[in-house]
A and B are shown apart, each in its own frame.
Chain A
């Protein structure tokens, strides 16, 4: 049933057209804006479940493919398709967007139509990035997505929003333009923009290295990896809650997705040659940024740094595969590292999104993100405290939550590569626990300090809408923590295929 529908096109264009519809509604009657936006988001999510139901677990080939000629002068196709790597990310995107719409339900009073429309259009574009199999289509979506985010941060952001918005835009754009040149190089070499053709293209190592670096700049900025991470704390702090959620939960995954779709399969030899460098960058992100997070005074900044640190696990899992294969000679250890990294991508989407929503709940009430403005919140908001503690625990990697699965798999596989890499990565479990739980201790627990009786003492606990948001995310976090099999099953075939391709690719001199 699902194979006949152009499901991916629907997933891309439904939110975009829905977003434009929302825009036109905003003029005279703003009350209809929110329900329309919510129904579009819900409908998109329900449709995206069709991907899961109709997905064939046995094959690593692209599924739900659509291919139409778009710009024949450049041999550019409107070519969509998903495999086990991109499919979970698309569902994550449509899932998170629902909560973004809900999170802005009451808070956004200034131009709600434009707010909702920007998020819906961005959702469509992000799904497009995950589904695109044509490099140019990918690039168009990849860059176009920045515009709604730029506007979201700039209009509804905090006091320093203009700086953050422009920094975000220029930083990420600067990263990606070299990728464009790499695409053009590959186009003139292969005569097409098809990503799948690129995978089969034999390229000499020195050219691969240049291409890898061009890709690395684009993706490292997005992930973000140390040392090109500085835009993220600014963007997170200034963005409205919804913007932070989308940034952390989805946009960062675009960078790591890029490594899987482009860097590793197109330039396998350069990836192998530079794997040590990538591992070093990942470890710096994991350990150093973990310590940076420890000293933050601003809750959003703390979670932002924690995101960078957690994304380090993802890139570590991707690039440790070469060393594991060298040491063990089998792909199963490498597959474990890579699958762990991918589970971490999805799980971090839920956890970081949830943490930003928690901060949003507090911010909506007291308009402060400073840790020192709070204390003893559990006394007035017991329900909220329960969720906040749960998400903090999973952020720290508590077994039984999804945060544990990914990190554990990555660390476990790292042991097969090198004890010290694994050791360094494992340190972060302690640091991560320290900064998250210390923040929770200062914000949630204890008695309400005397000077905050007027503020914290009068907080109202979360309402039904907020409870629904947090409970849904908590459910997902626990579900994948206890039973990650559905997620892993989807990935197996694609990961095996990717590893086979990357490690056994024929080498050119």
Chain B
């Protein structure tokens, strides 16, 4: 019994978030609606509190606890801190958007925090079961969030689609896990890795298992050819929920890749590395090319996500710690840019008006030069134009590819980036080169939203000028 409770302080952030979810649920049910800002503040406090607890309870070395189902290492700390920061931003950006549409209910905060809890567990998973539990906690919460606007047929359809396809992917993942279990006789990732390293496992069964796991992973990441859900869900969800889906879960997706492929099956690198090459190249090609044809900005950014996830896979497939560090850096950078990008869409939306189309950015430079500049930074960063942060992320990944002597892959990566540049430039074109539409109103936003959004975009520029610290952090995490 005591062995199970050793190092329990490393689990405190999760316990804290879980407790706060219950409290917020109660507060929302029993405290009068007049002070419903309370749930918002409590949720923010939860995120900040969890961040403090995570920082205070850092492991000195990789520590397994709770019967080897939960791992606490520097990677999990980094990933969780990134999740808190992004979640904080999500809450700030979403508030007035949801309020104007009558969607700002307690459920939103409870579900979002549940998703956060699931992702935290995922980031620390050391066991197939804890990994699956974290994944499903995240996924189920997000399915419900997509349907938050239950009167909207579009949202319901998106939620349904997401749920069915997500369940299918989970099934495939579980099927793969069961085969790995059959081949290795254990569910602990560390033990699985050891058995594979000793070469005792049945290799055909392993191969079949890893294939199913890769399919499940590819679906969750949204890489081609398992990407079909991404554009529909991004477009169908209320923008505030798209913002959530497009930012924090990307960190969780990376965590899942790391835990499953690297912690659990690094011995099979040659197998999953080759699979990742195919997934990466297809994603970069399809994501970047199809995005050009989009007129809906959420859909366009969805295809952009697909291409970015392909780029991220490039860092993973090298199979070295430097490669993983580059992929981690890419993930963090992408999540930050994505947060800012969808934040801008929310900024342009008002009650009764959704900024859905790229045309809605027309003449933003005339309406508000400051926010046009912020969007300029974000778009250039996503396109990978120096000196923005996105450039260094691409550089870190390509550098590892070149180091592994995969020159053709490196050339393809940069060429697809240039193709992708076109649709980011198109947004800049609408903002700067076109005159605003006749009836475009003033941009109004809360002070906290304005400050956070500006800070978000300026961070992309500032960290791009001085990327050293963030790069170092990523390298130290592995």
Residues of A bordering B, CB below 8 Å:
70-74, 114, 136, 139-140, 143-144, 146-147, 150-151, 154-155, 161-162, 165-166, 169-170, 173-174, 177-178, 180-181, 184-185, 187-188
Contact = CB atoms under 8 A, between A and B. Distances in A.
A140 B414 contact: no
A129 B25 CA distance: 58
Contact of B411 (A72, A150, A162, A181): A181
A158 to B, nearest CB: 12
B395 A170 contact: no
A73 B475 contact: yes
A165 B433 contact: yes
Contacts of B471: 71, 73-74
Interface string B397-411: 011001100010011
B472 A73 contact: yes
Complex A-B, nearest 6 residue pairs according to Cβ-Cβ distance, in ascending order:
A177-B414, A140-B386, A184-B402, A154-B433, A73-B471, A174-B418
B386 A144 contact: yes
Contacts of B48: none
A181 B413 CA distance: 10
A147 B385 contact: yes
B467 A71 contact: yes
A151 B428 CA distance: 9
B229 interface: no
A390 B189 CA distance: 79
A74 B322 CA distance: 12
A187 B467 CA distance: 18
Contacts of B475: 73
Contacts of B417: 177
A131 to B, nearest CB: 16
B387 interface: yes
Contact of B468 (A71, A144, A151, A178): A71
Interface in B404-431: 407, 410-411, 414-415, 417-418, 421-422, 425-426, 428-429
Interface string B463-478: 0001110011001000
B109 interface: no
B432 interface: yes
27 contacts: A71-B471, A73-B468, A73-B471, A73-B475, A74-B395, A74-B399, A114-B369, A139-B386, A140-B386, A140-B387, A144-B385, A144-B387, A147-B385, A151-B432, A155-B432, A165-B429, A169-B421, A173-B385, A177-B414, A177-B417, A177-B418, A178-B411, A178-B414, A184-B403, A187-B399, A188-B399, A188-B402
B380 interface: yes
Interface of B: 365, 369, 380, 385-387, 391-392, 395, 398-399, 402-403, 407, 410-411, 414-415, 417-418, 421-422, 425-426, 428-429, 432-433, 466-468, 471-472, 475
Given A155-B432, A166-B425, 18 more contacts: A71-B392, A71-B467, A73-B471, A74-B399, A136-B395, A144-B386, A150-B428, A154-B428, A154-B433, A166-B429, A174-B418, A177-B417, A180-B398, A180-B414, A184-B398, A184-B402, A185-B402, A188-B402
A170 B421 contact: yes
A143 B365 CA distance: 22
Nearest to B402: A184
B425 A169 contact: yes
B420 to A, nearest CB: 11
Contacts of A178: 411, 414
Contact of A188 (B395, B403, B418): B403
Nearest to A145: B386
A391 B380 CA distance: 39
A373 B125 CA distance: 75
Contact of A180 (B369, B395, B466): B395
A188 B410 CA distance: 14
B396 to A, nearest CB: 8
Given A169-B425, A180-B398, A161 B415 contact: no
Contacts of B411: 178, 181
A198 to B, nearest CB: 15
A161 B429 CA distance: 10
A72 B468 contact: yes
Contacts of B414: 177-178, 180-181
Given A72-B468, A170-B425, A177-B417, A184 B432 contact: no
A91 B403 CA distance: 39
Given A181-B402, A184-B399, A162 B433 contact: yes
Contacts of A180: 395, 398, 414
Nearest to A175: B418
A221 B472 CA distance: 36
B159 to A, nearest CB: 37
